[in-house]
Chain A
Amino acid sequence: MSSRSSALIYEERPVFFDAAGAQLFGMLTLPSRIAPGSPAVVMLPGGAWMPGSHRGSFFATMARRLAGLGVPTLRVDYHGVGESSGHVSHYNIRDLFVDDVVGATGVLRELGFEDVMLVATCFGARTALAAGSLSSVRAMALLAPPLLDYSVEEGLRESSVATHVRKGLRFSVLRGLANPRNRRAYAKVIRAKLDNLRQRGADSTVSRGFLRDLSAVAERDVPVLLAYGEDDEYYTDLVRARDGRLGRLIAQAAGRIEVATCPGRLHGFAWFPAQEFAIDTVCTWIGRIVEPVGVPNVDPVDAADHGLPTPPG
């Protein structure tokens, strides 16, 4: 189904595709003219069963704005979310939805887009980062990605040694030592806490997983945009982490990793300024990567419905 005005800016089309053992739903937004050599964008929302249109449909708005730049997009319902099949019982940063991204890139490849950019929020941003090793990924805009692997590391950081000792001396825990599986689990917690204690300082607010994935992406010279609100809890982690390994990584990337901030909260996108900042920042950043076809300021919602002109050419 294309936009209905005679001045066609984009066509939107629902798709189902196989990924992660499920059939995922996505909404394609295909510009009438593609920016030369432009990768397509895969948009990944956060957790909490947020569908691909995102809060206030701001992903849909962003997709239609990008269409004005000649950039195609696919916004995705994760498996177990929205219109997709499958099941999600909880979200865990140690169990990211990389297979969903692989499936989405497959859809775009079938349409002739070998390369993709990832635009993602929160849990989706960590998923995007983990998917950064895919050879098709050419850039990623990560909006409010958590630096820690909540809730495991958060719990380890927040709980004192005394708390761990007290918990460890509970009768149920001591009784559980008879079970080899429990012994292994307890040993894992002790090792993790010791690691956490050794890491006190700047690196205690960023997980090894985050640093590992960001390093891998940086090594491939993939441009990365990190965006936070100054009141985001994750931004506090970022500020501290920049004094450690993360700061060195950003410096070594020599401009390939950019950090953008806005006043107030970005995470959650629960007010217009956060959504407007995300849309403006991502579109501007992508506009620097691709060669826009023109009409850069199309109506952010539904350009063709408002009679905007066909992109020149």
Chain B
Amino acid sequence: MLSSRDASAAAVRRTARTRVEARLVDQGSTRMLLVTHVPDEPASSGVLICPSVFAESVHNYRREVLLAEALAERGIPVQRFHYRGCGQSGGRFEDISFASMCEDAARASTFLRECVPIERMAYMGTRVGALVTGSIAESAAPIALWHPTMTGRAFFREAARARRMTDLRMNKGDSPRGDIAGEIDQNGRADLLGYALGRDLFESLGEISLRTAMPAPRDVLLVTIGRRPDEFAKLAAEWRAVGSTIDEEFIPSQETWWFFDERGVRSESILQVTTDWMLSRLAGVTA
């Protein structure tokens, strides 16, 4: 049976103690998908989840849904969204920029506050979503990060590497594509494993670094999934030096962020760690 739809044209599904509302809202010249996980009980704090983009967003997608459900079941409303140009939102991949991603995240955050009268927000960023989270979160708001991308440049380096590997697998080793910047110059966009990268995002995200995007001091959960880059330890030390509280968790895994496989959905420990941390940070303000 088709679910009921409320006055604001949201599709709704229920879980034991929550409801999940999905709606398209106007954003700029197009629309974006917002998904709100609302507990039945009143709440005074909420969480915004900022996803990644391109192929690696699929990796964490289900985990993000399950995290939102777990938090909502424990009384914390959660807002999720698809950036314009991505997933089920309107627009085109090649038109997004780091600024548009931040605008979309801010809009989603505002929407949650309008839906649920909350006093405090916490944030969650996965991979490149960490850069967005760091840029829009209020000072001192707690932030959980799942294997954050350290810089936009590193993100594109990984993309280029994944593309070369795919080209070899697709028997195009004899005619490999040029670098990403050259392809954008030539075609106006680059093909990142079937995802369109435009100049705006390439140039704007390329300038962003987690080190500078996320002011300290604040409480941070840094979840490393799979191999632990040296930069994480350095960054954690720097943040601690300026008064942040950094909780680090290591989840052994064999993640390949740009490729899909069944290992990408082992979620239980990641969800447990993150849920417990969020509950501890938001304790006292949750009704």
Contacts and interface: CB of A to CB of B under 8 A. Distances in A.
Contacts, number: 134
Interface string B2-36: 11000001111111000010111110011101010
B1 A57 contact: no
B255 to A, nearest CB: 13
Given A56-B196, A57-B87, A13 B24 contact: yes
A83 B24 contact: no
A50 B65 contact: no
B58 interface: yes
Contacts of B261: 48
Contacts of A275: 194
A274 B172 CA distance: 14
Contact of B29 (A4, A51, A81): A4
Nearest to B3: A16
B170 interface: yes
A27 B30 contact: no
Interface in A68-89: 75, 80-83, 85
B93 interface: yes
A1 B11 contact: no
Interface stretch (A17-25, A128-136, A161-169): A17-25
Given A12-B24, A302-B92, A49 B265 contact: yes
B62 A81 contact: yes
Interface string A85-119: 10000110000000000000011001000000000
Nearest to B187: A272
Interface stretch (A185-193, A253-261, A263-271): A263-271
B33 A14 contact: yes
Contacts of A107: 2
A52 interface: yes
**Chain B facing A: main interface SS:** mixed
Contacts of B10: 14
Contacts of B24: 1, 12-14
Interface of B: 1-3, 9-15, 20, 22-26, 29-31, 33, 35, 55, 58, 61-62, 65, 85-88, 90-93, 166, 170-172, 191, 193-196, 260-262, 264-265
A15 interface: yes
A56 B30 contact: no
24 contacts: A1-B9, A4-B31, A12-B24, A13-B24, A14-B10, A14-B22, A25-B13, A49-B62, A50-B58, A51-B87, A52-B88, A55-B195, A56-B93, A60-B88, A75-B88, A80-B62, A82-B65, A83-B22, A83-B35, A91-B262, A231-B171, A270-B194, A272-B191, A302-B92
B262 A48 contact: yes
Contacts of A302: 30, 90-92
A1 B87 contact: no
Nearest to B11: A14
B1 A25 contact: no
B194 A14 contact: no
Interface of A: 1, 3-4, 12-18, 23, 25, 27, 48-53, 55-58, 60, 75, 80-83, 85, 90-91, 106-107, 110, 231, 264-265, 268-272, 274-275, 301-302, 305
Contacts of B85: 57
Given A270-B166, A272-B196, A275-B194, A23 B13 contact: yes
Nearest to B55: A55
Contacts of A4: 26, 29-31
Contacts of A269: 194
A48 B196 CA distance: 21
Contacts of A82: 61-62, 65
Nearest to A59: B88
Contacts of A231: 170-171
Contacts of A270: 166, 170, 193-194
A4 B62 CA distance: 30
A64 B155 CA distance: 30
Contacts of A52: 88
Contacts of A274: 194
A15 B193 contact: no
Contacts of A55: 55, 58, 193-195
B85 to A, nearest CB: 8
Contact of A301 (B3, B35, B91): B91
Given A14-B33, A269-B194, 10 more contacts: A14-B10, A14-B23, A14-B24, A23-B3, A52-B88, A82-B61, A82-B62, A90-B262, A270-B193, A305-B29
Contacts of A15: 2-3, 11
B172 to A, nearest CB: 8
B65 A83 contact: yes
Most buried by B among A51, A52, A106, A275: A51
B23 to A, nearest CB: 7
Contacts of B2: 15-17, 106-107, 110
Contacts of B22: 14, 16, 25, 83
Given A4-B26, A275-B194, A305 B91 contact: yes
A23 B13 CA distance: 7
A129 to B, nearest CB: 22
